[in-house]
């Protein structure tokens, strides 16, 4: 049952309630106390039904919101790609990122990393730091070059 169906049911119940109230208040055609009592019971039952339908409508709206949220999370999960040391988001326009590994792995949040332009990134949310593979390779080469230099004696 979708929300438009529930709305239609609410309209029907309101119409029935209004008709029952009109009959109850009419002294011309209904004079017996017993009939008025039954109509009062009908109005109460219709009011209870109306409240229940409103509750169902609210539950359906919450479920639809939850479905939309889960569908968006699933779409994001399908677009996220790991490219060490961070995550990237595949979009129609290309890749977007980098995003923090720790934030995504622990909380499924895409938190953009802030870089210094030299292969070093920081997450402003969890304070994690990352080096790109290129930066690691460059540092390793520099260290190896330094180690292989001839040393002068003192």
Q: Do 93 and 59 fall into the same domain?
A: no
The reply to whether 44 falls in a domain is yes
The reply to whether 37 falls in a domain is yes
Q: Do 132 and 69 fall into the same domain?
A: no
Phi, psi for residue 122 in degrees, rounded to 5: -130, 140
DSSP, collapsed to helix, strand or coil, labels residue 78 as helix
> 76, 106, 124 — which closes off a domain?
76
Question: Which domain does 69 fall in, by range?
Answer: 3-76
Residue 131: the pLDDT is 87
Total structural domains in the chain? Answer: 2
Q: Do 61 and 111 fall into the same domain?
A: no
Q: Do 22 and 61 fall into the same domain?
A: yes
Taking the chain, what is the end-to-end CA distance rounded to the nearest angstrom? 88
Residue 101: the pLDDT is 94
Q: Do 70 and 38 fall into the same domain?
A: yes
Q: Do 114 and 58 fall into the same domain?
A: no
Residue 111: the pLDDT is 95
Q: Do 34 and 97 fall into the same domain?
A: no
pLDDT beneath 50: ranges in the chain: none
- CA 7 – CA 51 distance, rounded (Å): 12
The reply to whether 68 falls in a domain is yes
The reply to whether 153 falls in a domain is no
Buried b (16+ CB within 10 A) or exposed e, 26-57: eeeeeeeeeebeebeebbeebeeebeebeeeb
Residues for the chain: how many in total? 154
> 76, 107, 124 — which closes off a domain?
76
The reply to whether 70 falls in a domain is yes
Residue 135: the pLDDT is 80
Q: Do 57 and 101 fall into the same domain?
A: no
DSSP, collapsed to helix, strand or coil, labels residue 152 as coil
> 76, 109, 138 — which closes off a domain?
76
- CA 128 – CA 130 distance, rounded (Å): 7
Residue 69: the pLDDT is 93
Q: Do 72 and 94 fall into the same domain?
A: no
Contacts with 106 (C-beta within 8 Å, 6 or more apart), sequence order: none
């Amino acid at each position: 049952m979708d929300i438009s169906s529930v709305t239609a049911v609410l309209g029907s119940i309101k119409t029935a309630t209004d008709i029952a109230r009109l009959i109850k208040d009419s002294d011309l055609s209904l004079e017996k106390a017993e009939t008025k009592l039954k109509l009062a019971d009908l109005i109460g039952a219709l009011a209870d039904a109306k409240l229940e339908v409103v509750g169902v409508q609210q539950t359906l709206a919450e479920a639809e919101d939850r479905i939309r949220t889960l569908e968006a999370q699933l779409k994001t999960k399908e677009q996220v790609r790991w490219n060490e040391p961070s995550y990237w988001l595949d979009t129609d326009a290309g890749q977007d990122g980098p995003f923090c590994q720790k934030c995504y792995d622990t909380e499924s949040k895409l938190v953009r990393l802030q870089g210094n332009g030299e292969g070093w990134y920081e997450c402003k949310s969890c304070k994690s730091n990352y080096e790109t593979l290129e930066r690691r390779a460059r540092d390793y080469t520099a260290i190896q070059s330094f180690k292989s230099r001839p040393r002068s004696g003192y």
